[in-house]
Chains A and B, each alone.
Chain A
Amino acid sequence: MLDSSTEFIELLKKGDRIAFAQLVEEYQHIVYNTILNICKQQHDAEDLTQEVFMQIFKSVHQFRGEAKLSTWIYKITYTKALEWERKKKAKRSINYFKNLIGIDHKSDGIADFNHPGIELQNKENATLLYTALDQLSDNQRIAFILIKAEGLTYQEVGKIMNKTTKSIEGLIHRANHHLRQILEKRID
């Protein structure tokens, strides 16, 4: 990982092209997969990944090196994904009214989402889990995705979300509890 290298960060701050190409190569997976897990649309996830890297390029001079580079990138990534989701929700409510007054609109295709990285035998269960995750609060959902899908520790997620490890534990506990309740109803 390039995280610990202060030289690398200095190069990024200077706008070094090779360093940026290296950054994209190294972090594209975490950015793209986190976004994909939150917004559940491949095409939009690609566009958002581009936006995240552009944002990193714009604001890398503000990175003070207090946290790991990956922590900072995760923070930008999930903030962008939530922003996108809020816009999408607003659009969806407009579409709902359009539908009410009889103007057709295209479906956003979230219902049939399947993450390409999920094993074949888990696909059906994962679709159920994604649908259930939509009913959680933003914080619970983000914490759950970062821990279960990204494999981060409670401490790392705490740093990303500006929360203590204890509150992340609480978030995950409540998320699991809610998910069980939702899934019980669905499986019945």
Chain B
Amino acid sequence: MKDNKQIETVLDSFNNMSRAELSPFVKSRILHSIFEQEKDIEMELPLKRVFWILSFATLFLFVNTIILHNKKYNNKTESNQTSYKDNSNEYYFNTTSLFYNDDKQ
């Protein structure tokens, strides 16, 4: 019985609890942090735009460079192939000429 009364007293110990006060220093710190955050948000927007513009520009340049590089590479390999053919022709021609010369000799 005594225990029950004690338990009830413990359960009611939050009754008439007054509210704890924040110190003026903490209050001003809160306001300061809110307004600092406001500044950050104001700065964030143009910075975000700059970031996206720069990243798109970089991506565009990167893709362009790859495309241009591929084109150049394709042209180079094509020209290499023709020059090889030419060389072979030359070689063929030369040998015939050699043959011809030999025959002559």
Contact = CB atoms under 8 A, between A and B. Distances in A.
Interface of A: 15, 17, 20-21, 24-25, 28-30, 32-33, 36, 46, 49-50, 53-54, 57-58, 115-119, 122, 125-126, 128-129, 132, 148-149, 176, 179-180, 183-184, 187-188
B13 A118 contact: yes
B25 to A, nearest CB: 9
Interface in B21-67: 21-22, 26-27, 29-31, 33-35, 37-38
B20 A24 contact: no
Query: Binding site of A, secondary structure by majority: helix, strand, loop or mixed?
Result: helix
Given A28-B27, A188-B3, A129 B20 contact: no
Contacts of A179: 11
A57 B33 CA distance: 10
B10 A119 contact: no
Interface residues of B, number: 26
Given A50-B26, A126-B13, 5 more contacts: A29-B21, A32-B20, A32-B22, A129-B13, A184-B7
A86 to B, nearest CB: 23
A142 B11 CA distance: 15
Contact of B13 (A46, A54, A125): A125
Given A24-B30, A24-B31, A115 B17 contact: yes
